[in-house]
Amino acid sequence: MFRNNPILVQLKKKIRSKAPRVEGIVKKSDKGFGFLEVDSQTSYFIPPKQMKKVMHGDKIIGKVLIQREKEIIEPEKLIEPFLTRFVGKIKQKDNKFFIVPDYPSLSKDCIQCTIKNDLIHTFQDGDWAVAELESHRLLNNKNIFFAKLISFISNDKNYLTPWLVTLNSYNLEHKDPKILDKSEVKFDSFIERTDLTKLNFITIDDSETKDIDDAIFIKKTKKNYFSVIVAIADPTAYIKQDSRLDKIASNRIFTNYLPGFTVSMLPKKISEDVCSLLPEKKRPVLACKFIILEDGTLLESSICFFLAWIMSKKKLSYKKVSDWLEKKGSWKPDNTIIEYQIILLFQLCIKRISWRKKNALIFREKLEYRFKFSKEYKILDVYVEKRRIAHRVIEEVMILANICAAKFLSKKLGFGIFNIHKGFSDVTIAKHVISILSKFKINFSVENIITLDGFRKLYQSIYKLSNKYLENRIRRYQSFGEFSIHPSSHFSLGFREYATWTSPIRKYSDMINHRLIKSVLIGKKITKFSNDIISKINDRKKKHRMSERDVKDWLYSIYFYKKNNKTEIFVSEITDISRGGIRARLIVNGANVFIPSSFLHPVRNELFIDYENGIIYIKNLALYKITDQIKVQLMEIRMENRNIIAKPVFID
């Protein structure tokens, strides 16, 4: 009888109007309810009924109400929807179209949708599409979420679906650019170039590589120093600044290398033919000459950039050169000239590695994995690809060339596209690092480790301990690598300044540095560019990294789903520990798996997860920690969110 009492209704309205408001991000659970996360320490319960008004990931303002002596959230205002433009899978029901967003926490959400008027495609169940959210329950005062399909991606039977869907989800290109007219690729013949075509330049790359961007010539001087010329393909000799092709490259920023699928920054006619440093082909290059002393030191006064013509004498492969240097297999260089180049490069590499260990930093190499596909893009195998000595040879020479570019740009201009790394970004973070180090009896001060020299000495000390757990804990406090217009230190390499220019047919930032160096060489007036390009480069780099991760997760899920082998036991390494459980990587093939906490121990109150320190305790005993190797068995392949579920295997 009190239900419609006007006084009671008025009182409820008054209470609601005075209820405190909080702002946060919606997190949805698998059981229909959710939480509003205000910060890392504060969250509020959202009942299932109220969760129907919002989506996982929405940024909202909600009222804090008391229900049955418990604080709950009633969503009130949408600040930023999680979904705007998104990718999803089509479902058809009762002559209506629905789209299921391709996000793990939204895999059960069906959003009704219509088709954009000018979109010509007959959609079927299982098709993948790009959609835009048009109506949100909090924003439009409607009782429905609604979307519009704006483009078709692929049907579910298309073997390229993992790549196409992932690229579309990050709004990345999935086709190589094309040359529309021959006049778009016109060689700049007005610039003088030094003829080096008689020198014995060689290239070392993967056997299947076509876009060859670097060639090297090396000799010994009378003082027993190494004299090196690094020649880099010069696409800026053909592509004018602000031309259509230049704008395409400036939008793409990088060539996107995904497993078995590459999307070029430049048209392949340019990257794999016109500019590629193919053997016995005369090519224009930007070159850098420098001298390395007997102890591996770069003689800075020797650095010289110039424009040239070269003709590579031989294309060599990493595998064959490594085999020969390691005295494996039957391959050998064609002649003594090529043999001499390889030997000198190997000697230089050894000296530079020794020099960097003492004066800079060399981080431990991670295992790299490669997928093997059939012509129909079916996954045949996944295997470890070890970096061998020939990879290190080229890496050391390219690092030297990039140091030279950084010094040149810094001295001549004071700006360019520099690769920087800040180490521990502020004093507060450095204090956390010092706290961790003290537990391992490593004594450094905050003031010391925030300097480049101190950072180098810190890691040299850590490496001597060979403690992977400690390395992991310290590394998680490091900042990420960035790009900057102005020169600054690269802590993780241990260099005062660093700027890449050695891959201009794959990286737009390297094209920019080419143009800057060339402008200095020919006396052309240079206009300093805005900082917008840095944001664009950083954003694209992040998207490429995430797209590679997502494609790999999808491919691994397909691989194990088809294998359907739940008896095999894998050795894995723990990569992360969270409230929900353990993330680990299978060492044999690199697949990431998730172990829910419920699989770790049957009694929940005997399980303590210290996710801050990456340790799991069972009955007060530390049984799992990050970097530990554990044996696991696959339990379930969840194709809807490409998640591989595993459990620990205990073998006596």
Active-site residue (options: 58, 127, 211, 510): 211
pLDDT at 41: 81
Q: Give the Cα separation of 14 and 517 in Å (integer).
A: 69
Active-site residue (options: 58, 127, 213, 234): 213
> Among the residues of 528-584, which ranges form H helices?
532-563
Q: What is the mean pLDDT of residues 374-400?
A: 93
SS3 state at 121: coil
* pLDDT 10s digits, 142-199: 678 999 999 999 998 899 999 999 999 999 999 999 999 988 999 988 889 999 999 9
Catalytic status, residue 205: yes
Strand partners, 65: 72
* pLDDT 10s digits, 207-255: 999 999 999 999 999 899 999 999 999 999 999 999 999 999 999 999 9
Q: How many CB atoms lie within 10 A of CB 336?
A: 9
Q: 485 phi and psi, to 5 degrees?
A: -70, -35
Catalytic status, residue 156: no
* pLDDT 10s digits, 593-611: 999 999 999 888 999 999 8
Q: What is the mean pLDDT of residues 488-494?
A: 95
Catalytic status, residue 318: yes
Active-site residue (options: 58, 102, 127, 205): 205
Active-site residue (options: 352, 506, 515, 585): 506
User: What are the chain's domains?
Assistant: 18-80 (2.40.50.140), 85-158 (2.40.50.640), 191-420+496-549 (no CATH), 427-479 (no CATH), 564-648 (2.40.50.140)
> Which burial class, exposed, middle or buried, applies to 17 when counting CB atoms under 10 A from its CB (0-12, 13-18, 19+)?
exposed
Q: Which value, in Å, is the radius of gyration of the alpha carbons in the chain? A: 29
Place of tokens 């194990």: 560
Strands in 365-507 per DSSP E:
368-373, 379-385, 418-420, 482-484
Residue 450 predicted with pLDDT over 70: yes
What percentage of residues in the chain have a pLDDT greater than 90? 80
Active-site residue (options: 58, 102, 214, 628): 214
Print burial letters for 428-465: b (CB count within 10 Å at least 16), e (below 16). Answer: ebbebbbeebeeeebebebeebbebebbbebbeebeee
- What band does 649 get if pLDDT is binned at 50, 70 and 90? very high
Of the two residues 10 and 89, the one the predictor is more confident about is: 89
Catalytic status, residue 515: no
Catalytic status, residue 214: yes
Spatial CB neighbours of 140, under 8 Å, sequence gap ≥ 6: none
* pLDDT 10s digits, 107-128: 788 999 999 999 999 899 999 9
Spatial CB neighbours of 350, under 8 Å, sequence gap ≥ 6: none
* pLDDT 10s digits, 40-89: 788 899 999 999 999 999 999 999 998 888 899 999 999 999 999 999 99
pLDDT at 606: 92
Active-site residue (options: 318, 369, 459, 508): 318
Q: Which long-range contacts (CB under 8 A, 24 or more apart) does 73-76 make?
A: 73/22, 73/36, 73/44, 73/45, 73/46, 74/16, 74/19, 74/50, 75/26, 75/46, 75/50, 75/138, 76/21, 76/138
Catalytic status, residue 506: yes
Strand 202-205 versus strand 314-317 pairing type: parallel
